[in-house]
Each structure stands twice: as structure tokens, then as C-alpha cells.
Chain A
């Protein structure tokens, strides 16, 4: 089960967030900050999965942009890892060479892509 999907840049600014499980507005910021810190602290040679509270985080870095997916314990991490890549491929095609700015300036459209891909 996917719990949430975040797109965050290296400075820790959220570019896109989508929660599939209810998280209070006030708690989101703290959670996002935690998640980003957890992912940024990891080195290249370490694996792309981090344990965070009850979730597993799967993250993938594209230039300065991180895509982080929070999943439940029993999910297949590697398949999510590839799903993220698939999502980025779609974005890339849609924006023809996607960049961080595309994602944030036209977040509406990014949401549409996301909705079409993952209900």
C-alpha cells in the first residue's frame, strides 16, 4: 500500500505532495521535514529504502529533486522504486524534458499525471 508520495528538492522545499491516507495538515510539514532529512542523510552507496516509523520510505533522486514514497511494511520496495521511475518517465515525456520547475510551476498538471497513473 502506498501511503503518500512527495516530491521535494534538496533544500527541503516540497514541490508536490499527495497523501493516500489522512494526515493532518499541521503534521504534514513535520513529517515532510523528517522524511527529507532521513533521505538527504543517506549516501549514494546506501540502499534506497529507509525505515520511518511504521512506514518504509522508498526514495529516488533526480538531479536536485527527490521523489519519496511512503509505503507499508509488506509492500515490495523494489517495485515501488521502479514505479517512481516510470512516473518520472511519464512526466519527462509530458513536459518534454522535465525539470524541477516544470513540476512546481505546473503542479496542477503533475497532479493530473499522478492521478492517471495512481488512483
Chain B
């Protein structure tokens, strides 16, 4: 028996009913359970429960029922609810019991409440007072119960009421109370993070609590906080490491041991936190190497729980910045897992492997035989997990085998959820890696027929879009379409009655759209087949509509067949079908109209939709003239309603010349209009107000859209050099090369030959290919890099290729690796050793660097997209020494912009990267300095920057053909933020060639805060007032008021905020201040501040729902740091 058990028991207040009392009270319950257990049918059970519920209803409504009896009723009600019978009539009594009863009754009452009521239940409000009373109680058990129930269910709006009391409990002398208080705060944080923002300091105190239980509880909060913003808690890394060290070292009391393992769940929690902190951060990761090593070493005991810890440890090792010997140990651990005879461990090993192959696909190679075995395992879960693993290592070479395995599995699988999930993956793989048309169409047909009607709608949609949009070459597209037409005709000629509806829909669309491409097939035949489908009973009416549309498309010239059909359908019960039939008849008789409505083979993107509905303008103005009320968007109406209800929501009306009545309803500006108003045809009813507010909002923003659409900016497009990205030159490593590659360790000859063959086809191309394509994360098809023809290529020796693999193991591996495996079988063992080595060397050697000279690029904003800009060709020859000098060498047009300090991003022996943020009115410029630290010329330097939260679609790399020794090149990116995030991280790679033919890549990453994207919004008080009324999303919060400076606290605080966040202080009147800012050229955010005692009541409004929260967060941080 473990010591944790003792601990839990001692934590249970010894208040359970005495044995005899319990027996008496639970007597009726016992009877109930017994009789239910004896029943044989569901029907009898229902009858019995009905009786029971009636009896209980009577009992609770009778005034004579004592508290004690009520307690017993509650327990029975819990049992009934557990069996799924509604006992909602007892809810209110549960609350009463908690309110009025003695300690025993209270306990049952609270328990019943936490089981019965879910978040948001209206009865919960009645509980608030009881909880408040109990929280203030001196009775330890009452306080304990109240805290427990608060952590289980509590109405969100009432959190402020109990928050101070719960906070007080954080310094309670009893550790169990402190622990429960921390857990209650964790719960609050989960559903109302803003409310507990001010007590972050207290969380830190809880983390340092002398009782390990309280500290453990606080880790829940930290895990959540760190998951959201790892950067803010880097300083705690050493504390977490120290805690883990103590735990692993057995410094905790024996109470916390579970089967002689010290606090295993605590260790797991800590490992999770560390892996979040160390992700993509070398210096933080370095702090934890030692303790991770220790954990890996300590957890050697042969018990499940140590394996659970090991698993978490392995995940952490592979998440943080890589360290060679740790990786090696972790890999060995995974090996032990996968090879274990215990099935649970095997499962965990596969799961770990699935995670790890995202970072290092080669690891899968070591275990290929085990993976093959698991693929044929009798256990469904194991098979499923193996397929997941295979999905992650799929590439263009092994896709056929893997997809076949998945389809095999699917054919024998009956679980709906699995089918939906896996079929989606097959479709994804097929689209990404399809080797040829016939395979692709065949696989998709399988997907449709297996997936059936469970399929997510987006699978057929994506497939059809792929067919319709096509790629660059028309011949290829047509070939694919032709193949699809052919194979579908074959399918339809056979019995089609069993086919799923989605498949029929896809087929009829394809036939309707493309059957004209196939000249040797008679259109009449196609029409006949489709008509036959229409007659089938199993075809749903939605599919009929698809089929009829297809028929409409191909009906041209076949009037006789069509007319019959149209005739028979025009009396259909289904009105949609009937309408279509009539259209069909009409169109088939008028071929000119047919050609106009359904042009054959028209380009796909020529469809134009007038989303502003300007063609309705005439109608609208007529209606207005006739006295109709102007249209108001829903949120505006909502707001007006709430305004009418609330009396005193106008915080600064006295300071505004605009009287309340004058900003009446029609005077309001809808926020959406602001963005439209720059010239697109907007809502014609509100034209008069547009002018004033649009100038207000769009100040400093380039007008890129005119009446005629986009205003082209000549310089940008013209000067952009052809982007030639030599970064990751993908060698089409042939089947043969790759086949040799996949067997680094010669398998014993006893192994089944079949399995070996399967292995070779499954693991083809792993490691030799750019690992980017192996990342399960990258949704989009892998970027197609064009390989530059290089004359030196054939002369490269394997010696130089080692250099090229000198890239981080996480970044894309240079594919020149394949030279290593290219030709000689005998060299295989050597190869498998040399690769990890080179990865190691680079993992360690990334911190040496200096810098050199630069080349500048100028940027230009294209529309509202984030775009990069042309690299220009000035090259400075002065090697700057300090980073501040880098700024001095910026192009003249950027020099005057406000900018941040230069931060070093990353470096390797040849290149070092630094970045600097420059604040432009309409965008954030991210300037990247690329310094060549060597004496030699580096060629073909290409920067690729990605950032998920920002608009990344249009980001492109800057390319420098040749960077001379000790020189620096500057490239910059204009970043725009559309959706506010409190902070965003960007990452990217620089690829370059030190020697011709050998591309090295250097990854880098960093973070940007919303504050970088905020610009002051200069408005007058009057404009502010108008704008305020038009904004719909608001957030209120009390902030700290800075009082230390001696001056006016409001002004001091606002100035501090202004400095930190680039706000514009519009006006300060007495104890109120109004401040405005905007998110780059986008959404404005208005802040209204009022001094409220010692706090600053802040009220933010914006058209964007998330923006106020973000800005509030940064204000809080700015004030906290001040």
C-alpha cells in the first residue's frame, strides 16, 4: 500500500457518519440498489424508478421531512440521476440543505449541488450567499467544503464576490485550506482569466509554499499560464528545475511516495511545464538538461508509473532545444518502450514515437520491424496508433504503401469516429503526395466509397476544388479530369445502388463538368447513366439535385433525351427538383441561353460577386424615400437596446459638446462601415456620416483601393527580382537510393522476408528527404522548391556533403544527404553513424558568431496584405562591431523611424542574425540583419519568415545572391496584425551556400507583442465621443494607479501607459481621462479611464472583440513593470 493513500486519508476530514448511522440512513438506498440489481429488464427498471421518484417528490415537498431525512433523499436522488433519471425537483432542496443544515447535511448538500448543477445553471446563484457565509466561517470543515464547491461549480458573474475571500485563504495557516484555495483560483483562471490577473504575485507565493501539496496545486495554474504565454514565465524556469531536482532526489516526505516513486504525478506536471518553457529556446533549455538527465536516469525502476514519467521526460527532451546525449538516451528509452512485451508500454512507445518523428524521422527507421509487427497486431488501439505514426512519416515515395495499409484497416473497421478521422487523413495524404493521376483518382474513389456518408463535407469539396482549379499546366489538369471521367463511367456502368451519396454527388459533378473532354464517349451514354441513377430509389433528393445539375450542363444538343426526362420530373413531389426540371427543359430548348448560362470550360475564377449588393441601392433609396427605417446591423441594434435599458452608461457626456440626443440612432456609425468607406460602394443610407469618420480612422493609411479597385503601385511589382529559392534543393532521390537508405542496421536473416519488403516500402525516403514534409503540422502541401541546375553537382564528394547536413535537426535537412547513401551498399553502417554526429555538432555550435556588412532592402506595403519588398543592391563595406551600429546602416528612409533595440536572433559559424522592430504608421517593420562572419563569400542567401498568427500567406523570402565576407545584408518584412493576439511568435529559416551545391539552413525565431502593432489614434474629444458610441465590444477592469511619482496620479499612469504602448491621450478632465489607439491601420480601441479610489477603472471599447482584452493585458503588464 502506498503512502499517497495515507496522505489522502488523512486529508479527509474524519467526519463520515459513524458506521451504524450510515447503515440506517443508507438503508433505503440499499434497498433501492438491491432491487434494481435484481431486475431483469429495462422496462421494470423504469417503472421502479418512476415509483421511487414519486416517493421522493412527496417526501421533499412534505413539511415534516427532517434535515436528516432530506439528506437521505439527496443520496437517493444522486443515485437516480446517475442512472440517468431526471431528479431536477431535488436541486433546490440540495441548495437548501447546504444553506440550512448542520455540517453533515451541508456536506451532502454541497456534494449534491456539485453533481447536479453544471456551470451556468440558474439555481447556482442561490448558492452564492451560502458559500460566502461558509468561506467566512471559522469552522475549518465548512470553509473547506465551500472552497471545494467553488472549485467545482460557481457562477462566472459572481466570482468577484468571493474572490477576496478566496484570496485571503491563500495565507490560511492550514495547508489543506491553502491548497483548496489555489485550486479554486485555478478554476477561476480557467473561465475568467481577466478576473484573477491581479493576483499573479500570489500564485508565486503559492509556488513557494512550504507545503508540497499547495505547491503542486499551484502548478496547475502555471501549466495553464505557461501554455498561453511561455515567454512571460521564463524567469521561473530555474525554480521549476530546482523543484523537480528535489522531487527526483527524494527530498519530499514519504507521504508523497507512490510505490516508492516520489510524487510521480508532480514530476509529470513539472516535466510538462519545462518542455513548454524550453521549446525553441536554447538558453532556457540549457538550464534543464541536467535535471532531465537525472530524471531519465532515476526512473529505472520497473513499475508502470516510472514509465509514465519516462514518457513525459522523452517528450520534454524532444520538445526543448536539442542536446545530443539526451536525445540519444531518450531514443533508447523509446526503444525499450516499443520492444516491451507489456502491451500498455508498447502503446506508449508508439505514441512517443509518433511525437518524436515530427522532429527526427530517422528514429522510426530503427524500429521499423516493430512497427510492422504492430501494424498486424490484434489489438485495435495499437493498430490505430501505428497508422497515426505512419501518417506522420509519409512522403512521396512511401505514400502508396501507407495509404494502402490505411485503406485495408478502414475496410475492416466499424467505428464511425475512426473512419471519419482516418479517411480525412488518407484524403490529405493523397492530395499531398499522389504519385500519379490514376492512383490519385483510385484512392479518392476508395475514400468516398469507404467513408460513405460519414465523410466530412470538406473532403469531397476539396477534391472537387482541386479538380476545378487545377495546377499550372492545362494538359496535366485535363489528363486528371479525363481519368476521373473514365473511371467514374466504369463505376457507374456497374451496379451503383450501394454507393454512398457523397460519392454519387462527386461523380455526377465531374461528369457534368468534364465529360465533354472525353471524345470517345458518347454524351448520350453519359446522360443515360445519369438518368438511370435518378431512377434509383436509394438516391437521396440532395443527390438528385446534383445529378440534375450535371445533366443540365451536358444536355446541349441532346434535346430528345432531355425533354423526356424533364417531362417526367416536372411532376415531381420535390419542389427543388421540379424547378430544376423546368429550367432544364427551358435551357435545352434554347442553346444560346444555355451557352450563356453554363459556358463550357470557362475559367474557374471568373465568377464575380458583388458582395456590397450595390445593385440594390436603387431599391434601398426608394424604400427610404417611402419612409422605411434605415438598416442597422444587428450588433448596433443590440447596443441600442442595452443603452435604452441602462440609465447611466454614459461616462463622459458632460465633457462632450455633442449632446446625447444628437448622437441618436441614425447618427451612429457602424464599425463595419469604417472599413468599407474608403471608396467601395457602401451602404447608401449612411453616406452623409461617412466622410467625417473615415478621415478620422484612416489617417496615415495609404489608400490602395479606389473606385476601380486596387490601385497598383508600380515600383513594387516591377523591381521585385525573380525569387529563386535555392534553399532546400530537393534531390529527387531515386527509389533505389532510398531503398538502400532505409536499412541502416542489417536485420537478422531470420526475419520474415515479407516484412522486410514491407518495411522497405514503408520507410522509403525517410531522412533522405527534407524533413519539413514529414512534419504532421504543416497542413499545406510542402513548398515546391525549384532546384537550380548546378554544374558542380556531379563532382561533389561525400566529404563535402557532411557539411551540408550541418543544419539543426529540426530544420529541413539538406537533401544532399542522399549522396551519402547514394551509391554504395557497403557504406551503409558508416552512414547511419555519421548523420547523427553532424546533427550534434550543429546543435552545440550555434552560439558563435559575429557580424559583417549589409545590403539593404526597401519595403513597400501592398494593399493590406503583408508583403515583402524588393531587396535593393546597396552594399556597405564597413564591418560594424556593435549592434547599435547596425541601426546606423539602415537605408535612409528607415533611419528616422522609431525602433527597438537590436536583438540577436541566432547564429552559426558562418552567419549571424539579428533583428530590430521599426514602428511605421501602417505596419510593423521587422528588420533582419544577416551578417557573414566568415572571410569567404556566402552565396544564395535566402530568408524565409513565417508567422502563423499574422497574415503569412503572402510572406516571401528575401534573397541575396552573394554576401561577401564580413559584410551584412539587411532584409525587412512588413507585418500586419489582423486578429489581435497578446503575443505572436515568428520563426523562419535562412538558407545559404558556403560552397556551391551545399545548402545550409539556419532556423531562427522570436516573438512580437501586440504592443508593437498598436499605434496612437489621433482624434479630438468630439470625434472620440462619436466613435465611442459606435463601438460594440467592451471590457471593464480595475487597474493599478501609479501614485509614487508625486504628481497627478491619473496623468502619471496615463503617461506610463502612453510610453509603453504608443497610445494617444485625447483629453484629461478631472478624474477621467480618455485615450485612443488603433491596431495598425485597422480596428480602433478607445480607453476610458476614471480614478476610482486607489484604482484606475478602465473601460475599453473596440469594434474588434478580442482587441480590448489584448490591450488591457498589455496595460496591466506595463503598469506592473512600472
Contacts and interface: CB of A to CB of B under 8 A. Distances in A.
Interface of A: 13-14, 16-18, 22, 25-26, 28-29, 32, 45-54, 76-79, 81-83, 86, 89-90, 92-94, 104-109, 111-113, 115-117, 119
Interface string B75-107: 100110111101000000000000000000001
Contact of B418 (A51, A76, A93): A51
Contacts of A76: 268, 308, 311-312
B651 to A, nearest CB: 37
Contact of A89 (B2, B12, B81, B418): B2
Contacts of A13: 36-37
Nearest to B16: A109
B381 A47 contact: yes
9 contacts: A46-B378, A47-B381, A51-B418, A78-B305, A78-B311, A86-B4, A94-B9, A115-B114, A115-B148
Interface centre among B8, B152, B347 (most CB of A within 10 A): B8
B782 to A, nearest CB: 25
A83 B418 contact: no
B115 A111 contact: yes
A3 B368 CA distance: 34
Contacts of A25: 81, 84, 86
A34 to B, nearest CB: 11
B30 A48 contact: no
B286 interface: no
A80 B312 CA distance: 13
A28 B210 CA distance: 41
Interface in B141-188: 148, 151-152, 180, 183
Given A51-B418, A89-B1, A78 B82 contact: no
Contacts of A83: 265
Interface residues of B, number: 64
B344 interface: yes
A46 B379 contact: yes
Contact of B82 (A16, A46, A77): A16
B140 to A, nearest CB: 14
A31 to B, nearest CB: 10
Interface of B: 1-2, 4-6, 8-9, 11-12, 16, 22, 26, 29-30, 33, 36-37, 75, 78-79, 81-84, 86, 107-108, 111, 114-115, 118-119, 148, 151-152, 180, 183, 258, 264-265, 268, 304-305, 307-309, 311-312, 343-348, 351, 378-382, 384, 415, 417-418
Given A51-B384, A94-B9, A107 B75 contact: yes
Contacts of A50: 380-381
Nearest to B183: A119
A45 B382 CA distance: 12
Contacts of B83: 14, 29
Contacts of A92: 1, 5
Nearest to A94: B9
A46 to B, nearest CB: 4
B305 A82 contact: yes
B312 A107 contact: no
Nearest to B377: A46
Given A22-B118, A79-B264, A93-B1, A47 B343 contact: yes
Contacts of B37: 13
B417 A53 contact: yes
Contacts, number: 137
A90 B8 CA distance: 7
Given A77-B344, A105-B30, A107-B79, 18 more contacts: A25-B86, A29-B83, A32-B84, A47-B347, A50-B381, A51-B415, A78-B311, A78-B344, A79-B265, A83-B265, A90-B4, A92-B1, A92-B5, A105-B26, A105-B29, A107-B75, A107-B78, A116-B12
Interface centre among B81, B84, B115, B152 (most CB of A within 10 A): B84
Contacts of A14: 82-83
Contacts of B107: 112
A29 B346 CA distance: 32
B344 A48 contact: yes
Contact of B381 (A46, A78, A112): A46
Contacts of A108: 26, 75, 78, 108, 111
B2 A86 contact: yes
A104 B16 CA distance: 16
A44 B265 CA distance: 26
Nearest to B343: A47
A13 B42 CA distance: 11
B116 to A, nearest CB: 9
Contacts of A52: 417
Given A13-B37, A82-B258, A113-B8, A47 B111 contact: no
Contacts of B33: 104-105
A25 B180 CA distance: 28
Contacts of A48: 344
A81 B264 CA distance: 12
Contact of A26 (B4, B9, B84, B114): B84
Contacts of B86: 25
Contacts of B8: 90, 113, 116-117
B265 to A, nearest CB: 6
A106 B203 CA distance: 37
Contacts of A26: 84
Given A46-B381, A116-B12, A89 B308 contact: no
Contacts of B81: 25
A14 B33 CA distance: 11
Contacts of A82: 258, 264, 304-305, 308
Contacts of B304: 78, 81-82
B84 A28 contact: yes
Contacts of A117: 8
B347 A77 contact: yes
B381 A17 contact: no
Contacts of B29: 105
A112 B424 CA distance: 43
Contacts of B180: 119
Contact of B111 (A16, A22, A81, A111): A111
Interface centre among A14, A54, A78, A83 (most CB of B within 10 A): A78
A79 to B, nearest CB: 4
A45 B343 contact: yes
A109 B26 CA distance: 11
Contacts of A51: 381, 384, 415, 417-418
Nearest to A23: B118
Nearest to A85: B304
A12 to B, nearest CB: 11
A112 B12 contact: yes
B262 to A, nearest CB: 14
Contacts of B36: 13
Contacts of A106: 22, 26
B98 to A, nearest CB: 14
Nearest to A56: B381
Contact of A93 (B9, B75, B345): B9
A47 B417 contact: no
A98 B84 CA distance: 25
Contact of B258 (A45, A47, A86, A119): A86
Contacts of A107: 75, 78-79, 82
